[in-house]
Structure 1
Amino acid sequence: MQPRSSSFPKSEHHARFVRARRMLKENGFEACVMVAPENVYYFGGYESWVGVNSPQFMIFGVEDGEPTLVLRNVDLALALETSWIGDIRTYHLHTDSVADLVTSVLKEKGSTGGRIAIETQSYALSFAMGRHLAEALAPREIVDATELLGDLRLIKSPAELARIEEAARFSALGLAEAHRVCRAGMTEIELAAAIEGAMRHAGSDYWAIPTELASGWRTPGGHATPRPKVIEPGDLLHVEFAGVSARYHTTVLQTLAVGEPGPRARELYDIALLSLRAGMAAVKEGVPVSAVEEASLVPLRREGLEHTAMMRFGYGIGIAYPPVWLETLQISRGFERRLEKDMVFVLHSCIELPEEGIGIVQGGTYHLGASGLRMLAGAGDVGLHIL
């Protein structure tokens, strides 16, 4: 029976689950205690943010049998509403031992002391809970499977791309609203409210990262959230936010000018645009991610500004829960993964000069399809827009 609030058919979730089980078996695991909310949703259909608040797990052996959900009793209705998994075990917060319950379920599934896959890098696994699990599961070996499981989500199916397209529509409405209402004299918080309201009214789900918005002297703060600061004539304005459909995110990035900016701001914007173009031109199937970022840095090096590019050039995006919307794909030096068809990722150029009070981040969310790179959301390769 299809759960009442499921975003995808059971067959899609089950096919994903089969892939996860096969991959873990090939890597020598005995079982998996899945903890990251984005993975539990992707493979098990269970849609809930509360894993960062109350421990919840999807547990399964790699040989056969159905998986089990372990979650807090107050959240049982959420699992029944969204997940295809029939075996659900609950605990009462603070009075029941979650680690003992997880251990009991593993024993039922035939776990005898082998390697257990857990996403130890997940924000949903606190140090304390990780320690309790390690003690309860001994002598089993807990092994980090963050990248192994996360990488299975990087290639998007047609059904996922449809959700991503809807998220992009919400993002576009938010950006259009920013262009429509932004004016000197309003506060950053007022502008953020207009952007978020437009997306919510259109049907967007909640986003995993707060709206990032900064004007004037605050723009070098790459992850700045809106303040009561008044937007002034001539300010640069950086916005970054996401539209969301069924937990799939598409991120908008744009640096705007509220009235005529100074000549230095224009100069730096044009250099940032050259960086974005160079990186985008390098994006092709089979290209190492490190080569893409290296290409984006060439225009900055010519101007002696490489040190101002403090952000990675890009990262994978898709399902996300607070506190982040990044996937395991890193489009950055230090990584040699190659780009593949139907990956979805954020690309952005970055110049941050705190000593000059100028910061520029420009880009958006892109899909690498059969016809090449396509922008889904954001401003991308456009000249400086003056409001």
Structure 2
Amino acid sequence: MRGKFASFAEDEHRARLAKARRLLREQGIDHCISVAPESLYYYGGYDSWVSVNSPQALIFSADEGEPTIVLRDTDVSLAHESSWIKDVRAYRLMFDDIPGTFAAVAREKGLRGGKVAVEIQSYAIPHSLGLALAQALAPAQIVDATVLLGMPRLIKSPAEMAYLSQAAAYAQAGLDAARRTLRPGITEIALAGAIENAMRTAGSDYWAIPTELAGGERSAGGHATPRERIIEAGDIVHAEFAGVAARYHATAIHTMAAGEPSRRARAVYEVGRASLAAGIAAIRPGAEVGDIEEASLEPVRTAGLEHAAVMRFGYGLGVAYPPIWLEPLQISRGPNQVMQEGMVFVLHAYLQLADEQLGIIQGGTYALTGQGVEMLIGGGDVELEVI
């Protein structure tokens, strides 16, 4: 049973772990208690969503010793079927001291003081657990490793790209279903159901964020989830959803119209389309993320709609568990990051006109390859699709 459902070879995981250890040593950190489920999967191969209610940890030192997974006893078999790691320890929820267990394993690996890396920005370590863990680890000091452990995930290996291509195919099934199903008279929930059913039927794993879908008077809601609202003739409808293969997400983003829309809706869509195209044109290896977003905003400023551009232009995408699918790459003004070949990311032009009850979002998932920017899935830079 051990490793029967592993997504990657052990050698790939060990190479990733070696990179993480090198980053730890460069920061003067001797030990790591990784709690984020995406890290447990990326480095340890352990595939489980349950960090949201049952703390889990991948514990290792910056030297070459073997790592340990600590998890709830209910989930031991999940580690055996997916992870290459041999040392799997279990605790009993409601009875055992979980922070104390994590700390005891770290001390087995030589922890006495110094710094311990933990992803303190992860939802998997709520404030109460963080406080208890800090107390259990004292006099060692917890330092934030959210970015340190997340950044290696930004450059995808050939094996990861294969999963992303598969995920994109699942999302394409959802996009095709949206085109077949959208019509006046259907509810937003029914449309989302057709999208999700098509992706699951095609073979998709579960996604980390609910399907986002809204139309007509609700279209200004950028993160709106579908309701029992009936789609009307001429409604602008936008959707954002992901196909998933081996926890790798590929997100489709597309705006369509259920019949001929208003002239205003068409005009706003064209501004968004121009914004998307301008941002894509600025992407190349070495490009600064702030410059890319600035380029995407030029058509928006020209149209006098900069106030409506309230969403970052893009973000990294790959391994994900609920409740988010974002990686540390932020394609936005502010972060000091540059684009590199091998990155995969979501790009979206979003314009929100709340006072007009109108919003459009257009984009998808892209990869920066040796051939340039390649769209894996999404609506992309196309004329408004009227169904």
Distance 1:213 1:154 in 2: 27
Query: In the alignment, what sits opposite 1:29?
Result: 29
Alpha-carbon distance, 1:2 to partner: 6.1
Distance 1:39 1:107 in 2: 21
Query: In the alignment, what sits opposite 1:104?
Result: 104
- In the alignment of these two chains, the number of paired residues is 387
Distance 1:203 1:13 in 2: 25
Query: In the alignment, what sits opposite 2:125?
Result: 125
Query: In the alignment, what sits opposite 1:207?
Result: 207
Distance 2:2 2:79 in 1: 12
For residues 335-371 of structure 1, give each alpha carbon's deviation from its aligned partner in whole angstroms, at most 9, with x where no partner exists.
1211000100000101000100110000000000000
Percent of aligned pairs sharing the same letter: 56
For residues 254-306 of structure 1, give each alpha carbon's deviation from its aligned partner in whole angstroms, at most 9, with x where no partner exists.
11000000000001000111111110000000000010000001111112211
Query: In the alignment, what sits opposite 2:13?
Result: 13
Query: In the alignment, what sits opposite 2:258?
Result: 258
CA contact (8 A) 1:2 1:10 kept: no
Alpha-carbon distance, 1:182 to partner: 1.2
- Mapping for residues 273-292 of structure 1, pairs under 5 Å: 273-292=273-292
- The SS at the match of 1:355 is helix
Distance 1:282 1:172 in 2: 26
Distance 2:53 2:221 in 1: 28
CA contact (8 A) 2:293 2:313 kept: yes
CA contact (8 A) 1:210 1:241 kept: yes
Distance 1:294 1:195 in 2: 33
- The SS at the match of 1:156 is coil
Distance 1:123 1:103 in 2: 20
CA contact (8 A) 2:115 2:141 kept: yes
Q: Which amino acid aligns with 2:351?
A: I
CA contact (8 A) 2:237 2:256 kept: yes
- The SS at the match of 1:226 is coil
CA contact (8 A) 2:2 2:81 kept: no
Alpha-carbon distance, 1:64 to partner: 2.2
- The SS at the match of 2:63 is coil
Query: In the alignment, what sits opposite 2:239?
Result: 239
Q: Which amino acid aligns with 1:234?
A: G
Query: In the alignment, what sits opposite 1:338?
Result: 338
Query: In the alignment, what sits opposite 1:272?
Result: 272
1:162 aligns with 2:148: no
Task: Give me the CA root mean square deviation.
Answer: 0.8
Distance 1:277 1:5 in 2: 40
Q: Which amino acid aligns with 1:328?
A: P
Q: Which amino acid aligns with 2:358?
A: I
What runs of 5+ residues in structure 1 fail to find an aligned partner? none
Distance 1:198 1:64 in 2: 45
CA contact (8 A) 1:206 1:244 kept: yes
Q: Which amino acid aligns with 2:219?
A: T
CA contact (8 A) 1:167 1:248 kept: yes
CA contact (8 A) 1:2 1:9 kept: no
- The SS at the match of 1:173 is helix
- Mapping for residues 41-120 of structure 1, pairs under 5 Å: 41-120=41-120
- Runs of 4+ in structure 1 displaced over 4 angstroms? none
For residues 236-262 of structure 1, give each alpha carbon's deviation from its aligned partner in whole angstroms, at most 9, with x where no partner exists.
001000000000000000110000000
Query: In the alignment, what sits opposite 2:366?
Result: 366
Q: Which amino acid aligns with 1:14?
A: R
